[in-house]
Amino acid sequence: MRGHAVANGVYVAAANRTGVEGVAFYGSSFICDPLGNLIAQASRDQTEVITADLDPTLLAEWRRLFPLLRQRRPSVYGRLVEE
């Protein structure tokens, strides 16, 4: 998930439950920045709510350094994703 944040230049919030219900759930929900850095993380064994302040200047800086969204070429792959 953190790799997806870096690859797409976005903040990512990943939620996972805790406890056991047939299988064990490992918790550790988190929020990370576009560089993959954890900025908030829940514990592995307690139900928690986490929050984080997202910095729009970090997002803008990442997109300035890695302008991947501007390099997209939907005309090349558009037919692959049409319904």
Question: Per-residue confidence of the chain (83 residues) as pLDDT tens digits?
Answer: 999 998 888 999 999 999 999 999 999 999 999 999 999 999 998 999 999 999 999 989 988 888 877 777 778 877 777 66
pLDDT value, residue 2? 93
Are 54 and 62 within 8 A, CB to CB?
Answer: no
Please give the pLDDT value at position 52. Answer: 97
List, in sequence order, every residue forming a beta bridge with 25; answer none if it has no partner: 19
pLDDT of residue 80: 72
pLDDT for the residue numbered 57: 95
